Amino acid sequence: MAQENLDVHKKNRFYKILLTMLFFIITIVVLFPIISLLGASLRPPSDLMRSGLTLFFNLSDLNFNNYLSIFSENGSQYWRWYINSLAISGILIVLSLFFSSMVGYALAVYRFKGNRLIFLLVLFILMVPFEILMLPLYQMMINLDLINTYFAVILPLIVAPIAVFFFRQYAVGLPKELMESARMDGCSEYGIFFRIMAPLMGPSFAAMAILQGLTSWNNFLWPLVVLRSNDMFTLPIGLATLITPYGNNYELLFAGSVLTIIPIIVLFLFFQRFFISGLTVGGVKG
């Protein structure tokens, strides 16, 4: 019996070591682009032109000159793009959470004519690629005279189908007894949502804040379509303009790309305690 327990223990230990090695290899593969980017941001532009992105480079060549160029006069345009992306992403996260949560909540707790039809339309739009919707949206922005404005970037993305679906699935599981008790106490429907239900939906707000923030921060195609002037560009577009047939500003490109990751990391760390629970509960209820 003792020998059998010893064999089982050795077998389990072997599997644990094997899984640890497997996950370590997967982690290295996943982190390879970030490690390469970080290394490239510390290498001289001449070395980048000669060797490209690689993990094998001379450690003595590493320096912070590329980052210093961002904080010099050459990087003034970069910080303009950074502020543009922060402003657009911040506004979009707040407005998207506000309107999408109200729409999803209404579809979950109220029964009215056309409720299921509206929800089916949300699912349908969710399945349609955004590239198909760009042309009518672009024409709408022209008619509203919003081309080359922040509103053109923000307005079409305020009510995101994925956010509406997620909030609806989460709100389906909210206790209806609290709503009835609040109505008996004379609370309005808006009061029920903002004072009672919205705090209960905290994990879903955190999960959607991360997903919507990541989507907005990395959004390239739609801002590229509606923005015209260099001062209005967001970070993805601005960094793309650094690579041209007439010259490549690698030191600003790679160092700027590393700094671009910081807001997303901060956003995730701020909401990460609610992220997993929000995705799990919102994904299985309803």
Q: pLDDT tens, 233-276? A: 999 999 888 877 666 777 788 888 888 988 988 888 887 776 66
Banded pLDDT at 277 (limits 50, 70, 90): low
**This model's pTM is above 0.85:** no
Q: Judge whether 282 and 166 are in contact, CB under 8 Å.
A: yes
User: Does 43 lie in the same domain as 122?
Assistant: no
How many domains would you assign to the chain? 2
The answer to whether 198 touches 256, Cβ cutoff 8 Å, is no
- Coil vs helix vs strand at 201: coil
Query: Among 33, 63, 93, where does a domain finish?
Result: 63
Residues 15 and 104 in one domain: no
Distance CA 161, CA 124 (A): 9
* Confidence (pLDDT) at 28: 84
Same domain, 237 and 128: yes
Instruction: Examine the domain organization and report whether 51 and 126 are in the same domain.
Output: no
43 and 116 housed in the same domain: no
Pair (38, 176) in one structural domain: no
Same domain membership, residue 29 and residue 120: no
pLDDT of 1 over the 60 cut: no
Residues 156 and 20 in one domain: no
The reply to whether 208 and 140 lie within a common domain is yes
- Is 254 in the same domain as 153? yes
Together in a domain, 40 and 113: no
CATH (domain of 176):
1.10.3720.10
153 is in which domain, residue-wise? 68-284
Q: What are phi and psi of 159, to 5 degrees?
A: -105, 95
Q: Is 129 exposed, middle or buried (0-12, 13-18, 19+ CB in 10 A)?
A: exposed
In this structure, the answer to whether residues 100 and 154 fall within a common structural domain is: yes
